[in-house]
Chains A and B, each alone.
Chain A
């Protein structure tokens, strides 16, 4: 829970537009604090679910909000939702990171059926044991299954779940058609279903549509 000196009750009653206006025009840092408090969990959860590494997620999250603070005057025009603008920055930062990492993938590892790309990203600093435990708790089997999805399917699932975006917005953000975005979501759900069933020891015979 963030704490800053302000009448939190007052700020919590304001909507995002009003808080943004207060920060931009009156340099009210407490208004920004309220915005951060409101949306940080969803943004961080999305970033973390995509990179599944705490240190990397911290860096991307911090970079995202540094850009938000410095570029709000230039690139946010208060027409659309502020959170949608921030999500776009977070998404782009996450994808840029993933692309950079992919350039350094060991070619030989592609032959390994158990290869998990994200296992190869090692922390430079060993995290605190307490932090590890907390993140392990958070990292449920669901998250592990989502980890296993192809990046494009994971992206659609996370954008839909954490950002509550429509498929039109997801399609625009990921530069695909709406039908492609829907198709990726469908395959993601089918793959997740198979993983859950396998985990539960159930094997369903899905009737083939003749």
Chain B
């Protein structure tokens, strides 16, 4: 940096500090520096005092009030806006109430969907999982049919603490027959080589090895 450029930069910095000092935009350490400069350099002192003097004159700037007619017009607009909002909110509240009622009905209605064991059994569903002697094709198992639904009775509300039995995990051996049919086996021999749970995406149609699945049951206690 040349001497002239350095001098100009220093002057610019001093100017900046002077205006910041007058406008109280300096931190305490910078203020001390400027106050020292004021003591050491008369020009700095004159600059700061003249800026202060001009700034004080700005205090004489008048505050101008708007015409009363304009203020009255604005107040009238505020009144109209407030009245309009009062009309809008009851409608909003009505819609909000309807929405809340619909949500309550949905939640309340869902509580009634709780099938008792006896009703399920009557409908033909197995309520206990027992190991099968022989692997059976899935087509031999009772399936959920529409006719079964009519025999189900809606039980009164019961306690719904979830039950998870970590000791009695149902293991199902899924394999595929020569024609691609799914074969389920829960017998000890089939599940002997139970492995880690595999993601569903890894299921292959014609594997030469059985695919193991671990299923944890939950039930509703009465």
Contacts and interface: CB of A to CB of B under 8 A. Distances in A.
Contacts of A36: 71, 74-75, 78
Contact of B51 (A41, A66, A189): A189
A176 interface: no
Contact of A41 (B18, B64, B79, B86): B64
Contacts of B166: none
Contact of B82 (A29, A44, A143, A185): A29
A107 B77 CA distance: 40
Nearest to A178: B25
Interface string B82-94: 1101100000000
Interface of A: 2, 4, 23, 27-29, 32-33, 36, 40-42, 44-45, 48-49, 57-58, 61-62, 65-66, 69-70, 131, 135, 138, 140, 142-143, 146, 157, 160-162, 166-167, 179, 182-183, 185-186, 189-190, 192-193, 196, 204, 206-207, 209
Main secondary structure of the interface of A (DSSP, over half): helix
Contacts of B68: 2
B53 to A, nearest CB: 8
A2 B71 contact: yes
29 contacts: A2-B68, A23-B78, A27-B82, A29-B78, A33-B75, A36-B78, A41-B63, A41-B64, A42-B63, A45-B62, A58-B66, A58-B67, A58-B70, A61-B70, A66-B74, A138-B62, A142-B60, A143-B61, A162-B63, A182-B20, A183-B19, A189-B54, A192-B54, A192-B57, A193-B51, A193-B54, A196-B54, A206-B47, A209-B41
Interface of B: 11, 14-16, 18-20, 23, 25, 41-43, 46-47, 50-51, 53-55, 57-58, 60-68, 70-75, 77-79, 81-83, 85-86
Given A61-B70, A192-B54, A209-B11, A140 B78 contact: no
A8 to B, nearest CB: 14
Contact of A44 (B47, B55, B66, B73): B66
A32 B73 contact: no
B61 A49 contact: yes
| Residue of B14, B51, B66, B83 most packed against chain A (CB within 10 A) | B66
B57 A27 contact: no
A69 B54 contact: no
